């Protein structure tokens, strides 16, 4: 057995890596998505093709990049595109999944990375969209990765930086976004949610190891549905944790 139990960040990374199983083109953002992609390529998804906002496509991720524009995202990559070329690739429908995070998320999967408080007089000004809006608008499926805190899980985001299902079923299509796109999963260090077609509101489908449904409810600031038989995500394996700690991120850049 692994000597040290998995941290909340490690639970999130391992669960995200397992969602990348199979062969796919996937938009990868800075931080935990990079760790998850690197772990997936070493375990459940060796043929995963990583796409980075600033142009790198297909890096094997032997060395962990520290940002989406860093040189290691181009190391032995299949291609080195520019920003516009990457977004055109997504617009053509060639990028399957996009992994995103945010400061706030609401029950329809809308994300805020712009401001906390009123836009013109914010309490906090955040980094903004970057490629987040494009990824959430154009990829077939969006997977949202979040630390689960009540202040982040709100009934209405202060600013819609990246569209989820906006106000509910059909709202994305009415806004002109490609049909069939949108949030697929919301994964946190406490739980996993999906977005059923009938409501497009977050629905609890599984709990992280050792987490109770009551703990999820206490840290969620909006109403959500639940499966009648909520599942349990598997524990990280010893191999997965050793890869994360000793091979992928030994300097603890993100863990």
Positions annotated as catalytic residues are 53
d(CA 209, CA 194): 18
- Sheet of 79-80: strand order equals 79-80, 56-57, 49-51, 25-27, 97-100, 141-146, 183-188, 191-194, 203-207, 225-232
CA 19 to chain centre: 10
What phi and psi values does residue 4 have, to the nearest 5 degrees?
A: -105, 130
Would you say 139 and 97 are in contact if contact means Cβ atoms under 8 Å apart? yes
């Amino acid at each position: 057995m692994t000597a040290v139990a998995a941290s909340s960040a490690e639970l999130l990374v391992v669960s995200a890596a397992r969602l990348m199983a199979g062969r796919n083109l996937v938009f990868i953002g800075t931080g935990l998505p990079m760790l998850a992609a690197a772990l997936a390529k070493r375990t459940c998804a060796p043929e995963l093709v990583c796409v980075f906002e600033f142009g790198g496509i297909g890096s094997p991720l032997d060395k962990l990049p520290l940002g989406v524009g860093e040189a290691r995202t181009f190391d032995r990559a299949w291609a080195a595109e520019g920003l516009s070329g990457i977004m055109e690739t997504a617009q053509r429908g060639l990028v399957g999944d996009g992994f995103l995070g945010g400061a706030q998320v609401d029950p329809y999967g809308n994300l805020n990375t712009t401001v906390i408080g009123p836009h013109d007089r914010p309490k906090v000004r955040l980094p903004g969209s970057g490629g987040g809006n494009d990824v959430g608008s154009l990829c077939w499926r969006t997977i949202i990765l979040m630390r689960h805190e009540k202040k982040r899980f709100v009934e209405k985001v202060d600013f819609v930086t990246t569209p989820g299902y906006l106000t509910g079923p059909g709202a994305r299509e009415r806004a002109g976004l490609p049909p069939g796109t949108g949030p697929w999963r919301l994964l946190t260090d406490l739980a996993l949610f999906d977005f059923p077609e009938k409501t497009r509101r977050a629905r609890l489908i599984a709990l992280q190891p050792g987490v109770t449904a009551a703990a999820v409810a206490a840290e969620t600031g909006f109403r959500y549905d639940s499966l009648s038989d909520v599942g349990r995500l598997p524990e990280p394996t010893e191999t997965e944790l050793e890869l994360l700690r000793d091979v992928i991120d030994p300097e603890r850049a993100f863990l």
